[in-house]
Chains A and B, each alone.
Chain A
Amino acid sequence: MINHEKPAILFRHALRRFSLLLCLGIGGALFSATLVRFAPGYGVQERELDPRWSPQSIEALRQKQMLQGGLVSYYLHYLSALAHGDLGESESLKRPVRELLRQRLPVTGNSVIRGLGVAWLAATLLASLGIASRGWFFEASTTAFNSLLLSLPSAVVAMLAVQLRAPVFFAIALAVFPRLYSYIRNLLVRSYDQPHVLAARARGLGGSAIFLRHVLPSAAPPLLALLGVSFAISFGAAIPIEALCDSPGLGQLAWQAALSRDLPLIVNVTLVVALVMLAANSLAELAGRTFSGEAQ
């Protein structure tokens, strides 16, 4: 392949991913609108149950609802509001969803990024140490510890973190670590067993040179893909952890919305999280492609 064609291919790929993201965003928004529109109790206002309101006023309220009730006009209204950044109002908290997201997203983002950093560092270190030592005791003890962590529900990890007064990001790291460790370990074992790595070792190349020049280039693309997936895992783990650790993030907001059946809130939170996840996955995939291109 001619070198100057690579950036063009990557740009085309990025553009394709961006248009896919846009289509999925619009599709997801319409789906969210459908869920809200057809949920039981849609359009019924508390004021209708207030005995102080006269029958005429209630009828006027219903008429107003009817005017906005057409499905196509409802979708158009929803999409145009969305284009202006209006995500509707939370039924349970009586506050704009946009404002709630602006407050909560940084809290979760901070915990997730710090938790992922700790989990990745610990998993990579332990997996590399295991491969370097190749001792059965180290292998058996890390596998047993990893299995134990994999068998614990995230909610129990959260309760443990509350009792130990550990920060939220530590609980997220504990929930994500076992999944990362087993994958990274298998990947490194496979990379170290490749013929060209064995040949390099036979020629007396140093451990760090083998890792940097021979193992990392082949392991990097799947590791970068794993980075995208680990975002989804950590956001999923954030729900029980934030709910039980009383951390005011998106996970706690989603849990509260589900408990109070606040559909506009939970649906919009999920839509935003989905778009963040897809963007993270696309970036990870693009980085993987760039890296594998360079490696070739």
Chain B
Amino acid sequence: MKPLQKVAVSILCAIFVSMALATFLLPAHYARQYRDIPNAAPSTTHPLGTDALCRDSLSRLLYGTRVSLLLAPAAALLSTLIAAFLGSVAGLLGGPFERIVLAATDLSLALPWLFLLLVVRAMLPLDVPPLVSVVIAFLMMGLLGWQASVRVICAAARGVRDSDFLLLARSTGCRPARLVWRHVAPNLRPLFYAQFFISIPLFILTEANLSILGLGVMEPMPSWGNLMRGFEDFSTLSANPWRLVPLVLLVIVVMCFQLVLPQQEVTQ
């Protein structure tokens, strides 16, 4: 691992630890209002000040970090599982099933992803409780974000299908279940991990975009995207530059993920 990658991993670990310990670090509940101090500047009691609705910004940032950083990997896991299943089965079976899966993948890849997300979001009710909006946002991303990974996994599975060791295992009478478990899965596992890690920053950015547009995580539940909705009012932002902290944190995390991933896997 290169020194820069080690730094990125350390930063990610620190952020994940602070996210996990958010309950103990929180100065107050994310929705609690201090009605006498709206838009307060940083102080000892409120290290990042308060927002326009008098809520503690640090508490909202820590809780928002937890929401974004727990659920983006969850969505990435879901999409990777779908891609792993579809890609592996298509690659191993080949024939018409592979052609259908690849055609569906090509079709979905040609579509702008945000349009698809908007269609699905429009089908669901908008006035839902905040927790349900979180689940909807990340389920949508997990269920619709598998296309890019399927192509890569399918190509790798095709390579494994045509390999000599699989032919040897088949000729020795290895049963299909054992064949998949002992020979195919271990060869594809590194690819699954790579696809999982590639998807995380993508989902973090998508959640931010959706929440800024008012279609992601709903108030009062904070997320990075939600916390950035106030950026439209630039006059407040230039007077209170500490409000940029969620954006800085998001950029750092996404950049760290980009650095941690080996370059050849990103460009695949």
- Residues on A facing B (Cβ under 8 Å): 24, 35, 39-40, 147-148, 150-156, 159, 162-163, 182-183, 186, 228-229, 232-233, 235-236, 238-240, 243-244, 254-255, 257-259, 261-263, 266-267, 269-270, 273-274, 277-278, 281
Contacts and interface: CB of A to CB of B under 8 A. Distances in A.
A152 B122 contact: no
B213 A152 contact: no
A266 B118 contact: yes
B195 to A, nearest CB: 18
Interface stretch (B53-61, B74-82, B154-162, B249-257): B249-257
Interface residues of B, number: 38
Nearest to B121: A258
A27 B118 CA distance: 20
The B interface, classified by DSSP as helix, strand, loop or mixed, is helix
B232 A162 contact: yes
Interface stretch (B24-32, B90-98, B106-114, B184-192): B106-114
A155 B228 contact: yes
B114 A239 contact: yes
Tell me which of A24, A228, A236, A254 has the highest count of chain B C-beta atoms within 10 A of its own C-beta. A236
B231 interface: yes
A40 B126 CA distance: 12
B214 interface: yes
- How would you classify the secondary structure of chain A's contact residues: helix, strand, loop or mixed? helix
Contact of A153 (B113, B115, B118, B250): B250
24 contacts: A24-B107, A39-B123, A232-B109, A232-B110, A233-B112, A235-B115, A236-B112, A236-B113, A236-B115, A243-B213, A244-B232, A255-B118, A255-B215, A257-B118, A258-B121, A258-B122, A258-B215, A259-B126, A261-B123, A261-B126, A263-B123, A266-B119, A274-B110, A277-B112
Given A150-B254, A254-B118, A257-B122, A232 B208 contact: no
Contact of B119 (A40, A147, A148, A267): A267
B143 interface: no
Interface string B222-235: 00010010011010
B256 to A, nearest CB: 9
Given A229-B109, A281-B110, 16 more contacts: A150-B258, A155-B213, A232-B111, A236-B113, A239-B112, A239-B115, A239-B209, A243-B213, A254-B115, A257-B118, A258-B122, A259-B214, A274-B110, A274-B111, A277-B112, A278-B107
A254 B111 CA distance: 14
A122 B19 CA distance: 38
Nearest to B251: A151
Nearest to B118: A258
Contacts of B212: 153, 155-156, 240, 244
A232 B119 contact: no
A197 to B, nearest CB: 19
Interface string B10-29: 00000000000000000000
A186 B116 CA distance: 29
Given A153-B225, A153-B250, A239-B213, A261 B122 contact: yes
Given A151-B250, A155-B213, A239 B267 contact: no
B122 A262 contact: yes
Contacts of B214: 259
B40 interface: no
Contacts of A35: 119, 123
B136 interface: no
B247 interface: yes
A182 B232 CA distance: 30
B205 interface: yes
A240 B115 CA distance: 11
Contact of A235 (B112, B119, B205, B234): B112
A266 B215 CA distance: 14
Contacts of B267: 182-183, 186
Interface string B123-155: 101100000000000000000000000000000
Sorted nearest first, the 9 A-B pairs with minimum C-beta distance are A236-B112, A151-B254, A155-B212, A153-B208, A258-B118, A235-B112, A151-B251, A258-B122, A236-B114
Given A148-B251, A151-B254, A270 B111 contact: yes
